């Protein structure tokens, strides 16, 4: 690597006199090929110091490849990187880090059996004169950094990595990248808010603005339009490995960005024929678990019911209880008039209920196995003959649902871990479509996937409803929920606080119910069962 002294670029916080807008890092003519696949083609893009540049595009557009070249994980086929106008080359991530480039990855890498403090400073732990770990010094250091970064209230430095929530794991990764980084020129955030609460998101945004004001170039990758417009100074859009354009966030719209990303207008992506019938399929009465209290709701054949609420409202816990993964303490559930088994996921599946859970990688997919094996998982009994799985039938099944759901992969034997987030979610949905459930619960079905893949997921949900499936959708994105649902049921603190028809539901009315102070139970709140 050709080193670039910090004094020459003036892009780090140690050089406060650097003018915002000066070029900190840029790529020129950047091309990257993996065999016959061209991931990037002639991309030229500057990341000015003291500005937040949002990087947008569908999965497979080239965003991750661009970041990996900036951080030394990949080397370009053609073109290269410049810092302060001078060419540099990175043979490894260590070279990029030495040049002042940091990245906070989407998937945190946490060591499970050591503390938060040790995870943050792994490789640079303070030692006593006897070369023992200086635990008191480590705790003082991490507490000071937690306070400085605004995470003191949400992260315990002594908590083991194995006990961290997804949000806390993300915060540890952010701290790891930012602590001890006085020479940073460019910091990239890759989908950093996918697991964060609203309060944690606000703390992160405050931190990013502080980094920008220190003269650091910030790259922010996200599929969430609202975040992009709140945070970014400029927005760069990639499509099929090429730079489509760069827009100032103050002079563009969501519609403009969608058209740039996918080459078409998605204004009608929620349009579907509402086909709800009078046939009651799922009937939940006074369901009580450790996290849910007296919940009653109904879903009819061909109906999409949205389940709204803030983080901690009990939506995912309700879904897991219905699926048999959490114990039920009281109440009853019937499916097509028959009692739904409690605490027995296999029996629940046989009864006709499927769940696509919130954490698809941890709870739904076998990442090291193929698309074919993941899709056929819940229909193996149908594919067996004399206790052996008929592989030809399994391949035909996988091929059919890959085509129906437009799963983009070289073949059905492709490992699921190598797919984009959107295609992984389609594999989860393909599994349940193959099972032909009567009820399908979708928990955050579009989290972490791009706008084009979202449109395809919406098409699949509309198709399920048209086929008479009763669909219960949990989503934290209110525009999505309002667009999809025939009715919206709102939860807070484990209880239902209200129910709204498609025509009654607005962001304001849903939030009012989600933040209701007085919860007297469904009967007093106006929620119907």
Domain limits, the chain: 6-15+22-108+182-262, 111-163, 266-352+437-529, 366-434
Strands (E), 231-272: 234-239, 242-248
Structure-block tokens of residue 490: 């709102």
Q: Cβ of 14: how many Cβ atoms within 10 Å? A: 14
Helix axes 421-435, 451-466, angle to 10 degrees: 10
Which 8-state DSSP code applies to residue 390?
-
Question: At residue 220, does pLDDT exceed 90?
Answer: yes
Q: For 90, left (φ over 0), alpha (ψ -120 to 50), or beta?
A: beta
Q: Which phi and psi angles does 40 have, rounded to 5°? A: -135, 145
Top CATH class of 266-352+437-529 equals alpha beta
* Residue 366 · residue 373 · CB < 8 Å: yes
Confidence of residue 157 (pLDDT cuts 50, 70, 90): confident
Average pLDDT over residues 37-46: 91
Confidence of residue 10 (pLDDT cuts 50, 70, 90): very low
Neighbour order of strands in the sheet with 330-335: 295-300, 280-288, 330-335, 338-339
413 versus 179: the higher-pLDDT residue is 413
Structure-block tokens of residue 19: 């003018």
How far is residue 168's CA from residue 158's CA, in Å, rounded to a whole number?
Answer: 13
Please give the pLDDT value at position 18.
41
Confidence of residue 49 (pLDDT cuts 50, 70, 90): very high
Average pLDDT over residues 94-123: 84
How far is residue 423's CA from residue 426's CA, in Å, rounded to a whole number?
Answer: 5
Question: At residue 302, does pLDDT exceed 70?
Answer: yes
CATH architecture assignment, domain 6-15+22-108+182-262? 3-Layer(aba) Sandwich (3.40)
Partners of 492 in beta bridges: 495
Question: At residue 22, does pLDDT exceed 70?
Answer: no
* Coil, helix or strand at residue 391: helix
Least confident of 85-89, 264-268, 305-309, 350-354: 264-268
Confidence of residue 340 (pLDDT cuts 50, 70, 90): very high
451 versus 233: the higher-pLDDT residue is 233
Average pLDDT over residues 186-196: 83
Q: Are domains 6-15+22-108+182-262 and 266-352+437-529 of this chain identical in fold?
A: yes
Average pLDDT over residues 70-90: 92
What's the half-sphere exposure (Cβ side, CA atoms, 13 Å) at 425? 24
Please give the pLDDT value at position 427.
92
Please give the pLDDT value at position 517.
53
Average pLDDT, the chain: 84
Please give the pLDDT value at position 266.
52
* Residue 441 · residue 395 · CB < 8 Å: no
Please give the pLDDT value at position 16.
34
Please give the pLDDT value at position 151.
79
Radius of gyration in angstroms for the set of CA atoms belonging to the chain, rounded to a whole number: 25
* Coil, helix or strand at residue 416: helix
Share of the chain above pLDDT 70, in %: 90
**pTM of the predicted protein model:** 0.62
Q: Which phi and psi angles does 263 have, rounded to 5°? A: 75, 15
Chain CA centroid to CA 521, Å: 32
Average pLDDT over residues 483-506: 92
Question: At residue 529, does pLDDT exceed 50?
Answer: no
């Amino acid at each position: 690597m050709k080193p670039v002294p910090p004094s020459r670029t003036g892009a780090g916080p140690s050089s406060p006199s650097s003018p915002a807008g000066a070029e900190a890092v840029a790529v020129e003519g950047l091309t990257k090929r993996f065999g016959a696949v061209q991931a990037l083609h002639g991309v030229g893009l500057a990341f000015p110091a003291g500005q937040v540049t949002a990087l947008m595009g569908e999965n497979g557009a080239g965003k991750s490849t661009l970041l990996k070249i900036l951080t030394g994980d990949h080397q370009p086929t053609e073109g290269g990187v410049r810092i302060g106008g001078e060419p540099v080359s990175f043979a490894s991530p260590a070279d990029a880090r030495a040049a002042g480039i940091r990245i906070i990855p989407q998937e945190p890498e946490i060591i499970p059996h050591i503390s938060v403090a040790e995870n943050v400073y792994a490789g640079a732990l303070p030692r006593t004169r006897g070369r023992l770990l200086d635990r008191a010094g480590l705790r003082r250091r991490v507490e000071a950094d937690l306070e400085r970064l605004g995470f003191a209230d949400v992260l315990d430095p002594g908590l083991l990595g194995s006990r961290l929530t997804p949000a806390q794991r993300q915060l540890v990764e952010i701290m790891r990248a930012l602590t001890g980084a006085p020479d940073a020129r460019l910091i990239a955030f890759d989908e950093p808010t996918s697991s964060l609460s609203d309060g944690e998101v606000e703390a992160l945004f405050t931190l990013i603005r502080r980094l920008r004001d220190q003269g650091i170039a910030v790259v922010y990758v996200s599929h969430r339009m609202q975040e992009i417009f709140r945070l970014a100074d400029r927005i760069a859009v990639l499509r099929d490995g090429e730079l489509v354009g760069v827009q100032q966030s103050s002079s563009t719209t969501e519609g403009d960005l969608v058209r740039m990303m996918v080459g078409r207008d998605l204004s009608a992506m929620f349009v579907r024929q509402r086909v709800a019938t009078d046939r009651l399929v799922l009937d939940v009465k006074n369901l009580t678990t450790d996290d849910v209290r007296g919940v009653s709701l109904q879903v009819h054949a061909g109906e999409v019911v949205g389940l709204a609420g803030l983080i901690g409202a009990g939506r995912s816990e309700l879904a897991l209880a219905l699926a048999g993964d959490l114990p039920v303490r009281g109440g009853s559930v019937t499916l097509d008039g028959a009692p739904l088994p409690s605490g027995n996921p296999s029996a629940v599946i046989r009864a006709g209920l499927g769940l696509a859970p919130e954490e698809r990688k941890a709870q739904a997919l076998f990442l090291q196995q193929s698309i074919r094996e993941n899709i056929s998982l819940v229909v193996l009994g149908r594919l067996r003959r004399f206790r052996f799985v008929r592989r030809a039938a399994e391949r035909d099944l996988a091929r059919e649902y890959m085509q129906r759901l437009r799963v983009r992969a070289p073949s059905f034997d492709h490992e699921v871990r190598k797919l984009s987030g959107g295609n992984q979610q389609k594999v989860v949905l393909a599994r349940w479509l193959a099972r032909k459930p009567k009820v399908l619960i979708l928990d955050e079905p579009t989290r972490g996937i791009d706008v084009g893949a979202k449109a395809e997921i919406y098409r699949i949900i509309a198709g399920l409803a048209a086929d008479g499936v009763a669909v219960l959708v949990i989503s934290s994105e209110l525009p999505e929920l309002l667009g999809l649902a025939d009715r919206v049921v709102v939860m807070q603190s484990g209880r239902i606080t209200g129910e709204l028809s498609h025509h009654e539901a607005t962001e304001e009315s849903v939030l009012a119910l989600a933040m209701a102070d007085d919860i007297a139970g469904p009967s007093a709140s106006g929620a119907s069962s």
